[in-house]
Amino acid sequence: MHNMIHYTVWDWLLFFYIYSFIGWIWESGYASVGQHRFVNRGFLHGPIIPIYGFGALGVLICTMSVRDSIPLVFIFGMLGATALEYATGWTMEKIFHVKYWDYSNFKYNLNGYICLPASIAWGFFSVLLVEVINVPIQDVILQLRSVFTELLVLILTAATAVDVHSSIGEALDMRDMLEKLSESKDYIRRMQKRMEVVSAVRLDDYRALREKQAEKLLSTKEKFEKNLYAWREVKTKQLNELLEKAEELGAISPAKAEELKALREGVYRQFREMAGRRDKDFRRIAKHLRRNPSAVSKEYAEALESIKNLTE
């Protein structure tokens, strides 16, 4: 029989940080073993993944009144964690226009945010958490002096607040860049279609250009710089083709002078915007994507893919 234990707010916060840290160890450890190098996973820079902390707290709260029944712990924990996962995924996509995890390829999924296999896994995790993992962690937390607990939580909260501010800034910058890149791609496509450009250089040409580069071992930074240079070359080629075509049409169609003038101004605007995107802006967003490699975006799918390709 489980005794009903009352936790303080400080205890709950400490539970949150501990399980966020454990989640980070699991995610980063799994990825590091698979890639044979250290991989820092998660939305934040630091060694915590908040969704695990919130998930653990949700499970502990949902199962508090049914801890004497393993089947009910499974069901209550599964439902609570699944609801949290859906709400978090939906909210993050609405804010950042990027889906940081996607279950669309799994059977019985709901909008890609949740799926039956993951929910069942949450159920088993709930039983493991309540019956095994939380017992020693709970004992340690309850034995700590309240002053020490409060000081530790305050330090962790301050550090996390700084990290959250920085990481949200990265995610918002990525959203803005994806929007600009998508607008740029759409503009070029419209202009190419209007002027009947037969051979438009797109993502396949960009990949082909990279594949033709000499095969050699490069550092992550060198690879990124090479890919970014190749991407800019493709973009410049697209815009130059539009300018050349505009000049040709202007010579044979004086009546289209005003329309072609507007087109040229639009192309020059694209050149200025491309020049304004600094390498460090791309690097900052690329680091964010390396920590969240499963991120997808319905609205900016191709723009997101083009940035991911820079990191390969």
Residue 293 structure tokens:
């490699």
Highest-confidence segment of 54-58, 295-299, 300-304? 54-58
Q: For residue 144, what are the contacts with CB-CB under 8 A and spacing of at least 6?
A: 14
- pLDDT over 70 at 46, yes or no: yes
Give the per-residue pLDDT at 256: 67
Q: For residue 197, what are the contacts with CB-CB under 8 A and spacing of at least 6?
A: 241, 242, 245
CA distances from 45 to 42, 114, 147, 186, 196 (A): 7, 25, 28, 33, 46
Give the per-residue pLDDT at 213: 56
Q: What percent of the chain has pLDDT over 70?
A: 85
**CA 94 to CA 278: how far, in whole Å?**
27
State pLDDT tens for residues 63-78. 888 888 999 999 999 9
260, 264, 265, 271 alpha-carbon torsion, rounded to 10°: 160
State pLDDT tens for residues 103-134. 999 989 999 999 999 999 999 999 999 999 99
The sign of the torsion formed by the CA atoms of 159, 45, 16, 145 equals negative
Residue type, 172: L
Give the per-residue pLDDT at 306: 78
The sign of the torsion formed by the CA atoms of 52, 58, 60, 66 equals negative
Query: pLDDT band for position 171 (50/70/90)?
Result: confident
